[in-house]
Amino acid sequence: MGDHHTDSIEQGEGERRTHGRTRRQVLRAGAATGLGTVLLGGSQTTAAAPPDVSEENFHVYLAFGQSNMEGQGTIEAQDRQVPERFHVLQDKTCSGEGWQYGEWRVAEPPLNRCWAGIGPMDYFGRTMVEEADESIHVGVVPAAVSGADIALFQKGAPIGRNDRDIPSQFDGAYQWLLDLAQQAQEVGTIKGMLFHQGETNTGQTDWKNKVAGIVSDLKSDLDIGDVPFLAGELMYEEYNGCCQVHNQEIAQLPDLIPNAHVVSAEGLDNQDQYHFSTEAYREFGRRYAEEMLQHVDVSGDDESTPEPVEPPENDGPSWPGNATDPDDDGLYEDLNGNGEVDFQDVVDYFNGMDSEGMQNDVQYYDYNGNGEVDYADLVDLFGQVE
């Protein structure tokens, strides 16, 4: 399948800074001034990303594979009701919709490129938002291509672009996904990966090793550790599925990939021998989320309510050791410790102004509040002599 709306000019990596400002600053400034408004689905929707939360609270998930991850379900009215904390990173410029490669937008479908339908990502993101603390925002980074051989996603582009519909500046899908993921890391934290692929490679026993290599390369190149990797099963034979035999290869991925888990496709019906129905895609997305929620913390870091810090006790100045604070205002006017402010205190102050002890205890001797010990403080002290 080809895109209905494409643009020959894609935004490259060199465009991520604008007039000295970071991409995050530029996009946030646009949102703050109302410049982040795009036409979406016939209505005006304001882009809300990157959200104004910490990188730790913007949870990002990579999503790649072929047509079932791309999304082939019919977009209905209910699918356009999107939580404002759910975002998608645009994976291809779509001039007809006003979407630019590498820009965040509210995750109203289609999420993959310019034309795809409902897929697992849609209800994965909704469910993650519903289950997460309200301080958490969720972003998906799609890079799925109909008919893709697994080799399209291998590092080094061993089969090149393979006549697949990916942005023109990339030699293969690995480079494409990596570029998007690195952009996502500028504003958020990658928490996991979603994967659905295998119809094109059904029955190939080396497929699972290629998948493991791709995941290992991504984790290394992105420095994200062993984040959860979720692989969905292919359609079951009872729904006339073409490729259930390949589920035995998918079942072995957890043995090859640390923190890998399989998402069941049991009971998910079809629209044809390759693709799930629209309702099945919704349910599949929920299942991906239910599995992911077992492996990630979505409680939030509660930045808005930091633990109170107890103020240090006021032990008084270290010099001179017998100074007192006669009026309990936190300032030490009685330098000689005789219980009153007198002329001897003025003399002691004058003699000690340049001493290391007084300079280290400025907060106790700065009577005029200008942040230093000076002659104005001396005059102030003289004025207090009884």
pLDDT digits (tens, 9 = 90+) for 154-207: 999 999 999 999 999 999 999 999 999 999 999 999 999 999 999 999 999 999
Tokens of 15: 């465009």
Contact assessment for residue 86 and residue 138, using Cβ atoms and an 8 Å cutoff: yes
Tokens representing residue 44 in the block: 């005006």
Question: What is the C-alpha end-to-end distance of the chain, expressed in Å?
Answer: 94
pLDDT at 50: 66
pLDDT score recorded for residue 264: 98
**DSSP designation for 4:** S
Contact criterion met (CB below 8 Å) for 247 and 235: no
67 is catalytic: yes
Active-site residue, selected from the candidate residues 196, 246, 275, 334? 275
Select which of 7, 67, 334, 377 is catalytic: 67
- DSSP calls for 128-148: HHHHS-TT-EEEEEEEE-TT-
Among 214, 222, 143, smallest CA distance to 188 is for 222
Please say if 137 is a catalytic residue: no
The string of DSSP letters for 222-258 reads: HT--S--EEEEPPPPGGGT-S-GGGHHHHTTHHHHST
Catalytic, out of 52, 133, 171, 272: 272
Q: Quick check: is 272 catalytic? A: yes
Token pair for 92: 């291809």
pLDDT value of position 378: 86
Residue type at 200 in one-letter notation: T
In the prediction, which pLDDT does 193 show? 98
| Contact indicator for 99, 11 with CB cutoff of 8 Å | no
Question: Closest by alpha carbon to 75, among 132, 104, 114, 36?
Answer: 114
- Indicate the Cα dihedral angle 212, 214, 217, 222, nearest 10°: -110
Q: Enumerate residue ranges in the chain where pLDDT < 50.
A: 1-49, 303-306, 308-312
b (16+ CB within 10 A) / e for 225-258: eebbbbbbbbbbeebebbbbebbebbebbeeebe
Residues 66/69/73/77 CA torsion (nearest 10 deg): -140
Give the pLDDT score at 155: 98
* pLDDT of the residue at 257: 98
